[in-house]
Amino acid sequence: MISNFTQNDLIQFIYGEADKNLEDEIKSALNSDVMLFETYCQILDTVNSLENFKLNPDNTSLRIIMEESTIIQGESLVN
């Protein structure tokens, strides 16, 4: 079976943004459409390779921001 889903549909599906109908249709089609399944695996593989690494700012930046927050509050009290 060849389905009519676009790569955009699959991307929305992978990121959990497809609406319920689209999600159900894609899930069902993935069981029967070999080409679609292959495309889905390729996209998913690339997305997974991005990994969910997170970088953190330096503590100095956090300190500066918190100090600034206090200063700005001080200014507003004076005014």
Partner 1 sequence: MKEYQISDQLLIKNYRKGNEACFEMLLNRHKSRVFTTIYLIVNDRYIAEDIFQEAFIKVIKTIKSEKYTEEGKFLPWLLTIARNLAVDYFRRKQKMPMITNSSGEDIFATLPVYEENREEKLINEQKEGIVRELIKLLPEDQREVLVLRHYGELSFKEIADMTNVSINTALGRMRYAIQNLRKLITEKEISLR
Question: Helix, strand or coil for residue 13?
Answer: helix
When binding is defined by CB under 8 A, the residue of 4, 21, 31, 49 that contacts partner 1 is 49
Spatial distance between the Cα atoms of 10 and 16, rounded to a whole number of angstroms: 10
Whole-angstrom CA distances from 55 to 20, 37, 47, 52, 58 are: 33, 33, 18, 10, 10
**Cβ nearer to partner 1, comparing 18 with 29:** 18
**Cβ nearer to partner 1, comparing 3 with 12:** 12
Report the interface residues with partner 1, using CB under 8 A.
Answer: 7-8, 11-12, 15, 17, 42-43, 45-47, 49-58, 60-62, 64-66, 68-70, 72-73, 76
